[in-house]
Amino acid sequence: MYISKDPVRGYNEYINLAEGEGKKAMMDVALLLMDAGDTYTFAETEKEMAWIMFEGRAKVEFDGRTVEMDRPNPFDYNPYCLHLCAGDTCTITAYDSSVFYVQKTLNDRKFDAKMYLPEDTHTWARGANGELQGTIRRNVRTCFDYENAPYSNMVLGEVVNLPGRWSSYPPHWHPQPEVYLFRFDKPQGYGAGWVNDEVVELGHNGLAVITEKSHPMVACPGYAMCYAWGIRHFDDNPWEKTRIDDKEHEWTLDPDAKIWGDSL
């Protein structure tokens, strides 16, 4: 399912794990928009919660700590990401207009609050060696997954699509549900994506809820696209970089594959 929304100042819920598509995704997803001087407190009693700061300038107070955050945009700068267990709280105070992607799910495990600073998250330039004529060049950032946060029921990171390039390609899928929330460098930016076998137009602040089938994404020429990506582990089957490639497109993984136009 794809959800198009025009978010307003405050907490904008897209899905809730108690109903509709949220049940399938097993997560809450929201976008928090703040203006200068706004404050917002997260206090979940049953759900672990994580957010990524897409852009803005703000401070967050949690667990007796204060962290100052400044991220002009998600294309040139790595994210700030806070991960809290159920029962923990945090308060954000915005200095300027700020945007946060928010993700929650049920989890009764206790763990220490973790703030991932920009220097803690590595940017992996995938497709940077000219694979498929350079058309799958993108930047992947993983804040936390099963490797560094096995106590969590979620995965959270970002992908930056270069204009006109593809991500989540070659086509593949995994059984665990996944969500993508899109931001463009220009609000009129757009792209296209395969969401549960349906091709949809992707727009600024749109959300894809992916529960089956492969899910390649492409940004239109001229527009850079960044999306937060979150995965919900199954209780008996966590996502451990699981990837099931579509058989008919597996040939594109061959580094010696012959592709028309290579010599042009």
Res 263 pLDDT > 80 = no
- Triad 237, 233, 197: Cα angle to 5°: 95
Res 13 pLDDT > 80 = yes
DSSP letters along 38-107, please? Answer: -EEEEE-SSEEEEEEEEEEEEEEEETTEEEEEEES-TTTSPPPEEEE-TT-EEEEEESS-EEEEEEEEE-
Mean pLDDT of 132-138: 94
For residue 106, give the amino acid letter.
Answer: L
pLDDT at residue number 166: 96
pLDDT at residue number 207: 98
Mind listing the pLDDT tens digit for each residue in 56-98? 999 999 999 999 999 999 999 999 999 999 999 999 999 999 9
- Triad 95, 27, 199: Cα angle to 5°: 95
Average pLDDT, the chain: 96
Percent of the chain whose pLDDT exceeds 70: 100
pLDDT band at 256 (very low <50, low <70, confident <90, very high): confident
pLDDT at residue number 28: 98
pLDDT band at 100 (very low <50, low <70, confident <90, very high): very high
Mind listing the pLDDT tens digit for each residue in 225-240? 999 999 999 999 999 9
pLDDT at residue number 255: 85
d(CA 240, CA 145): 8
Res 262 pLDDT > 90 = no
Q: Is 171 helix (H, G, I), strand (E, B) or coil?
A: coil
Mind listing the pLDDT tens digit for each residue in 25-62? 999 999 999 999 999 999 999 999 999 999 999 999 99
Mind listing the pLDDT tens digit for each residue in 172-223? 999 999 999 999 999 999 999 999 989 999 999 999 999 999 999 999 999 9
Q: Is the dihedral of CA 246, 248, 209, 197 positive or negative?
A: negative
* Residue 101 · residue 81 · CB < 8 Å: no
Across the strands, what pairs with 190?
Answer: 203
Computed on alpha carbons and rounded to an integer, the radius of gyration of the chain in Å comes to 18
Q: How far is CA 22 from CA 15, 25, 95, 105, in A?
A: 5, 5, 32, 10
pLDDT at residue number 37: 98
**pTM, to two decimals:** 0.96
* Residue 31 · residue 12 · CB < 8 Å: yes
pLDDT band at 136 (very low <50, low <70, confident <90, very high): very high
Which contiguous run of DSSP H or E holds residue 209? strand 207-210
